[in-house]
């Protein structure tokens, strides 16, 4: 599937932990219709780079919500593993204090459908299931608009943590375009000018800069 930008975000129904301690059996994105969603995948619970990312998104959660954005995390761990990690203090490597949903993609289908699953699986000549590499998620991130369409995606390799401020910048850029009908040039920041999507508009912008 590769690039999902411009396409409907793949639907799913899975178990999740919400509000830091509550189990939900049938979590879906459908509940966020009319809102924006930032959904990010991370490789594993109880690791090193992952908790820095989860805490970083929590620290910016109020800002996301002020922009009508819901944040959702996904990994291939079980919901019980998520719950256990959520009970551990930050100083011990845990993610206690994270309140946005953490989805359990235990059958790997969400990661596969969003094309962020590492490795591959197949049946050999003896009809035994085999896998190449560890079947966990890359650090994929998807910005989904109010109609459920993916408008931005980025996928990092396992060692490379993400910049949450850049995610917020992309939310601002999308909302600026929706509200003003102008496109966002390189290094655009909230409060900057946009460009009209025509030759005269581009020429005017370039003349000013």
Hey, which residues are catalytic here? 50
Q: Are the CB atoms for 95 and 86 separated by under 8 Å?
A: yes
Q: Are the CB atoms for 56 and 63 separated by under 8 Å?
A: no
Instruction: For residues 28 and 115, give the distance between their C-alpha atoms in angstroms, rounded to a whole number.
Output: 18
What six digits make up the tokens of 95?
């993610």
Which residues are bridge partners to 14 per DSSP? 27
CB contact set of 80 (below 8 Å; sequence gap of 6+)? none
| Ordered alpha helix ranges (H), the chain | 49-59, 61-66, 79-86, 109-113, 164-180, 199-208
Q: Are the CB atoms for 71 and 103 separated by under 8 Å?
A: no
């Amino acid at each position: 599937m590769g690039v999902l930008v411009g396409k409907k975000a793949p639907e799913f129904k899975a178990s999740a932990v919400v509000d830091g301690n509550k189990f939900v059996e049938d979590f879906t994105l459908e509940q966020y219709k009319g809102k924006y969603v930032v959904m990010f995948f991370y490789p594993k619970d109880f690791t090193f780079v992952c908790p820095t990312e989860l805490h970083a998104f929590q620290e910016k959660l109020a800002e996301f919500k002020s922009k009508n954005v819901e944040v959702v995390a996904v990994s291939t761990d079980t919901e019980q593993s998520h719950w256990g990690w959520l009970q551990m203090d930050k100083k011990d490597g845990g993610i206690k204090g994270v309140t946005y949903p953490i989805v359990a993609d235990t059958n790997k289908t969400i990661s596969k459908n969003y094309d962020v699953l590492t490795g591959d699986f197949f049946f050999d000549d003896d009809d035994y299931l085999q896998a190449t590499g560890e079947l966990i998620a890359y650090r994929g991130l998807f910005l989904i608009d109010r109609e459920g369409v993916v408008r931005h995606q980025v996928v990092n390799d396992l060692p490379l943590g993400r910049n949450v401020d850049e995610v917020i910048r992309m939310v601002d850029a999308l909302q600026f375009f929706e509200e003003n009908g102008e496109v966002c040039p390189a290094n655009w920041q909230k409060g900057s000018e946009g460009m009209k999507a025509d030759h005269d508009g581009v020429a005017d912008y370039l003349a000013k800069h």
